[in-house]
Amino acid sequence: MASDDPSHRTDGLRYRRVLLKLSGEALLGDQAFGIDHAVLRQYAADVKEAVDEGAQVALVIGGGNIFRGVSNEGAKMSSRAHADYMGMLATMINGMALQDALEAAGMHTRLISAIDMNEIAEPFIRRRAIRHLEKGRVVVFGAGTGHPYFSTDTAAALRAAEMDAEVILKGTRVDGVYTGDPETDPSAKRYEAIYGAEVIQRDLKVMDLTAVTLAKESGLPLIVFNMNAPGTFARVLRGEPVGTTVHWDEAAEPLVLA
Ligand code: UDP
């Protein structure tokens, strides 16, 4: 286990070592393309709050604001694999921007790429990455899994398992998982907790199936929460009832509304 039993901790954190997945799209802010630096600054401040409380934070960043292999420009290309490699390079651009924002906020960081690019990022060496976390450095994982036909959600589940993280945190623009689309259906309610098998059966689009399956096999819970609401990230780490928790506890209620 990465950390001691939470009930014996004195730092007030429910989760100490976490894997935070941020989509590339979230970095758009109100823009149609590229990176909104105000969004990056807010994310960096939120990560700092958690690190200052003793959390070990690893991040996986997406690339959807720049390029996606399966949709957008990628869909017009003749080779899916070729387009996917372009998508992975897009995540590295975001990773560099995120690293810059985290350091500007006063944290020590390491950018780790799943594709060798030694001039700008470390290669992925599992034990070295864990050591960075133990030393309080924020680790940013770029280039996804390093393989086409996967997503950065799957990279998040993979790295979370490899880092012995306690939870995968999916930072989105919404408060969690709802019974319907809260933007079009005013009666839609947020789930506080969902049994993972329900997510798969109901096709709730929390993460893609490969990612959810990997989380299941590793017994990793997932919390979907609003990363754009300042301070929410640290609240999730303290165990406050925000967002939606996807768990693998067969004995618990399968669906709990907030
Ligand atoms: N990608 C890939 N393998 C991976 C991770 C990502 O091929 O392990 C490619 C894929 O084309 C994907 C793009 O990188 O569409 C950007 O990642 P993603 O769409 O997951 O980013 P997000 O939706 O989180 O912004």
Task: Specify if 3 maps to a domain.
Answer: no
* Total domains in the fold of the chain: 1
Q: Which two tokens stand for residue 83?
A: 């387009």
| Residue 170 belongs to some domain of the structure | yes
25, 70, 84, 93: residue to mutate for ligand 1 pocket, most atoms within 8 A of CB: 84
**Using one digit for the tens of pLDDT, what is the confidence trace for 109-130?**
999 999 999 999 999 999 999 9
Residue 192: how many CA atoms within 13 Å on its side-chain side?
9
Phi, psi (degrees; rounded to nearest 5) at 93:
-60, -45
Report how far apart, in Å, the C-alpha atoms of 68 and of each of 28, 103, 142, 190 are. Answer: 14, 27, 14, 29
According to the model, what pLDDT value does residue 3 have?
46
Burial class of residue 199 in the structure, from the number of CB atoms within 10 Å of its CB (0-12 exposed, 13-18 middle, 19+ buried) = buried
Q: Does residue 227 sit within a domain?
A: yes
CA neighbours closer than 13 Å in the CB half-sphere of residue 37: 6
Distance, in Å, from the CA atom of 27 to the CA atom of 31, rounded to the nearest integer, reads 9
CB of 25 sitting under 6 A from ligand 1: yes
CA distance 56 to 139: 9
Q: Report residue 164 as tokens.
A: 């012995």
Task: Examine residue 155 and state whether it is found in any structural domain, yes or no.
Answer: yes
Is residue 6 in some structural domain?
A: no
46 inside domain: yes
Nearby residues of 193 by Cβ (< 8 Å), 6 or more positions away: 244, 245, 246, 247, 252, 253, 255, 256
Assess whether the C-beta atom of 142 lies below 6 angstroms from ligand 1.
Answer: no
Whether residue 68 has its Cβ less than 6 Å from ligand 1: yes
**CA nearest ligand 1 atom 14, residue:** 87
Phi, psi dihedral angles at 41 (to 5 degrees): -65, -40
Find how far residue 3's CA is from the centre of its chain: 20
How far apart are the C-alpha atoms of 176 and 138, rounded to whole Å? 25
Two tokens, residue 39:
């969004």
* Structural domain boundaries, residue 56: 18-257
Examine residue 9 and state whether it is found in any structural domain, yes or no: no
Please give the number of the atom of ligand 1 that sits closest to the Cα of 61: 24
Atom of ligand 1 nearest to the CA of 23: 24
> What is the predicted pLDDT for the residue at 178?
93
- Provide the CATH number for the domain around residue 236: 3.40.1160.10
Neighbours of 180 (CB within 10 A): 11
Q: Kindly state whether residue 22 falls inside one of the protein's structural domains.
A: yes
Spatial separation of the C-alpha atoms in residues 258 and 60, rounded to whole Å: 28
Determine the distance separating the centroid of ligand 1 and the alpha carbon of 8, expressed in angstroms.
38
Under-70 pLDDT residues of the chain: 1-10
Distance, in Å, from the CA atom of 70 to the CA atom of 243, rounded to the nearest integer, reads 28
pLDDT at res. 21: 98
C-alpha 142 to ligand 1 mean position (Å): 10
Is the CB–ligand 1 distance for residue 221 below 6 Å?
Answer: no
Structure tokens at 70: 């399966």
Residue among 21, 35, 150, 152 whose CB has most ligand 1 atoms within 8 A, to mutate: 152
